[in-house]
Structure formats: structure tokens, C-alpha cells
Structure 1
């Protein structure tokens, strides 16, 4: 089942609190983030804060054909570099997002960058994606301080479907031979991504089924890390034609 709106708000708060705890525990804000080449932990924290402020501004603006002007979420000052001030700034960033989402409710329309995907252009759709954004960056931060933890099961299971629905599904034609790619979580949930000249669409499978041209197996946590580029194909359990998966990773429908 897709997570309900109150659960999404709870998970944004929980993952954000864990992110702040991780930043607070770091020996330095200048340590490099292994999964975000070129970034320090400070850079990651600034990205998390500004990203949540941007999401709040987008939801607050309501239905639109374009995102609001950057001045709506970024005053140009950036995040404070002193640790306690940075943690307070992160808290304010998350509070701004949470209060905006609560005020809007799940069905309020807004601009999103995933216009032709299977995810709705609503505050609920934004909240669902924000859970994953914060959760994956919390993992990045934990890895940076040497204490990575698996994503909570409810986050990871929804994360696979959310990524496929938001980041993979599109009306842009797949530029290769049609193919079906299956993703199987060891927790007992499976999805099929259908790639064709009509674009890409994902369906949840009742159970693992035959007929896919390529398939990936793993825990929901591992599947999310793979989809977000935090794990390589070499570390995943694959079946079928690996080249399809390589092409899918390289595909940019917006190009």
C-alpha cells in the first residue's frame, strides 16, 4: 500500500531528525561525502536545507506552469557554517516544509518537475518524494560519519515504487528495443517497468512473474540505493540482459 499523507509527514520529520543527529555527531563538517563526490558534509547539509525550502515554496505557490522564483526559498546567504546555527537552520527548513504541506493537504495541486510521470502533481506527491530525498541524504550523512544504517522498511519499500513512478516513468519514447525490467524486493514486493516507444510505465506485480528481459533482486534498501546511484550494478543480483539496465541508468528523457 502507498503510504498515507500523515505517515509521509511523520517520516519526513523522523528522517530529518536523524539527519540532524548525524550532522551533530560528525567530527567535522568538512569531511567528504563518499556518495556525493566533491561535497563535504556541510555541502550536503546546505543542500538538504535549501531543497526543503524550495519544496515548501513550490507547494505554497499552488498550481503553476513553472516553479516560483528562487528568491522565494533562497535569500542568497546560504547555510550558516557554525554547527549549532546550521542545526537550527536545518530545523527551520524542515519545519517550513512540514507546515506548508500540512496547510496544503495532500490533494492541492502544484508544479513538479515530473509532469509526465505516474506521480501526481500535488502536495501529496511532493511529500512522498521528500521522504525519499531526506532518507537517502540521511544515509549519505551516516555513511560519511562511518555509521550507515539501512533505510527503515516502510521508507525503502515505498521508495522503490516512488522512484520508478516519479523518476523513471515518462511519455518520452524509450530509444532502444522495447523491454520489461523487474525489481524484486526480498521483503515480498515486485514491480515491472515497461520500456517502449510510448515511454516508460511501472506496474506493481502481485508476485514475481516470468517474461522480464532483465531483473534486479535485493532488499528494498539495496534497490533504493541502486536506483539513486549509491550502489553499482556489480554489487546487485541481476538476471537477464545487463545491457538494458546499463542503458536505463544512462537514459535521460529530458535530454
Structure 2
């Protein structure tokens, strides 16, 4: 596993946000308040999705800027909730501004700056990577809601899967009850991107949980397809029975994973 590098993560936070904003500007929305429902997050409208992501960016920006030593409250983050009105242009501008602020603060701090996080690393580098992939995945949500195209650079997409698996490993170690159910020796899942060399993963279940690594090996079930589509299935942004991917072997095991694999 090779990380993309701190500067690249900072760049991607802005670039992925701009691509999400392009989805918004190109969408044929039925209402000016972005009230269309997000299929992959059915409790949210598109407007609520944008506010969630923009708030996350600004929360991380303040966390890193003040070198927080504990989780900071939402109400202490300037402009956390976004503009009062529901004008799409105002909301999109707020989203872009927050992403740019966050990237600038992370870049200035450097990856080793010590700061609170919920994860396995407590530094600005953790948050640069986390916000990159948070934005990548919510861009997929926006594309689903607005009917836009969705593609991800192969290096970014592969790292999004790596980071997801690291988050799940951390959740297992932290005692997350759903992660704890991901066990059962003798079973395994193989992810195989058919359009990107070496973009393959093996998840192996044991009596005490699961482990993962990059590699091409036979498994109980294999999920095959273009890397972007494998990513979307793995993050539950595309059904596993989609014609865009292929499932070979015990499909119920893949469903077992997808029903329980989440964090945050």
C-alpha cells in the first residue's frame, strides 16, 4: 500500500469538491432548495448532503488549525451549518470555500502536526486522507441523486478502498459490534479491478475477525469489475447485483460483509 502523499490529498479535497459542485450546477433539479432525495443516503436530500460535507470540511479545518487535543463541538465551528437560505449557488460557494480553507490549513500544518482524531493516527495527515475519501464518496452520492457521471482517478480510488479497510480494521480493534460480526474462519472475499493493474484485495475471515492485504488470490467470493464500480459496490453506492460488476462464488458472503462493514 502506497499513500498518495499529503500535498496530493490536500489537492484532492479541493478537486473532488469542485467535481461535486459541477454535478450540482449541471443537475436538472426540480426545486431550488436541492430537495431531491439521495438514493444512497435516503434520509438526506441533496442539499443536506452538501451541508453535511461542507460542515465536515470546516470541522476538520478548525480541528487542525487549533491543534485540538479532543473532539471539538459542532457549535464552535464558524459557518458550520452553511448559508441561511437554500439558494444552490450560495450553498455551492460555501462548499467550495470550506474545502479550500481546509486544504490550506492542512497544507500549512503538514502531515505530522499532532491533532485529535478518532482513528489510528492523531495527526493532520490522517485528516487530509480522510477528507479526501469522504469527498470522493459523497461525490458518488451527489452523482446518483443528480444523475451525473462518476469516475475516480485509479490511484485515488484504490486508496479509498485501502483506507476503508484500514478504518474497518480499526473499528474491529475498537470493539465495534458490527465489525465484530465479520468473522468465520475459512471464508474470504477477493476484490478485483479489471481495468487497473494490481488493484486487487483479499479479505480473509478468521475466528477473531478479519485481515486484509493487496493481492490476487482465490477466495470464497470475488467481486470483479472496473475499479470505480468495485469501489461503489464496496461503499454501498452501487448494488452488488448491478450489471456493471460480476460476483463469482458465494454472493451471500459478500452481502454479509456489505451489511456490516461501516464506520463513523
Partner of 2:200: 190
Q: Secondary structure at the match of 2:4?
A: coil
1:137-216 matches, within 5 Å, as 137-169=138-170, 170-171=172-173, 172=175, 173-174=180-181, 176-178=183-185, 179-186=187-194, 187-188=196-197, 189-205=199-215, 208-210=216-218, 212-216=219-223
Alpha-carbon contact 1:194-1:200 (below 8 Å) kept: yes
- With structure 2 as the length reference, what TM-score do the two structures score? 0.81
- Deviation of 1:63 after TM superposition, in Å, equals 6.3
Partner of 2:38: 33
Partner of 1:249: 258
Q: 1:82 and 2:87 equivalent?
A: yes
With over 3 angstroms needed to count, the CA separation of the structure-2 counterparts of 1:41 and 1:196, relative to structure 1, is same
Alpha-carbon contact 1:160-1:220 (below 8 Å) kept: no
Mean CA deviation greater in 180-189 or 19-28: 19-28
With over 3 angstroms needed to count, the CA separation of the structure-2 counterparts of 1:27 and 1:234, relative to structure 1, is closer
- Deviation of 1:105 after TM superposition, in Å, equals 0.9
1:67-146 matches, within 5 Å, as 67-73=71-77, 77-80=81-84, 81-115=86-120, 120-146=121-147
Q: 1:24 and 2:25 equivalent?
A: yes
- Deviation of 1:159 after TM superposition, in Å, equals 1.5
With over 3 angstroms needed to count, the CA separation of the structure-2 counterparts of 1:239 and 1:17, relative to structure 1, is same
CA RMSD of aligned residues (A): 2.6
The whole-number CA distance in structure 1 between the counterparts of 2:169 and 2:239 is 18
- Deviation of 1:15 after TM superposition, in Å, equals 0.9
Unaligned runs of 5+ in 2: none
Mean CA deviation greater in 44-53 or 104-113: 104-113
The whole-number CA distance in structure 2 between the counterparts of 1:149 and 1:247 is 26
Alpha-carbon contact 2:13-2:131 (below 8 Å) kept: yes
Q: Secondary structure at the match of 2:151?
A: coil
- Deviation of 1:231 after TM superposition, in Å, equals 1.1
Q: Secondary structure at the match of 1:149?
A: coil
The whole-number CA distance in structure 1 between the counterparts of 2:52 and 2:207 is 35
Aligned residues: 247
The whole-number CA distance in structure 2 between the counterparts of 1:77 and 1:244 is 40
Alpha-carbon contact 2:183-2:209 (below 8 Å) kept: no
The whole-number CA distance in structure 2 between the counterparts of 1:46 and 1:77 is 7
Alpha-carbon contact 1:182-1:191 (below 8 Å) kept: yes
The whole-number CA distance in structure 2 between the counterparts of 1:176 and 1:167 is 13
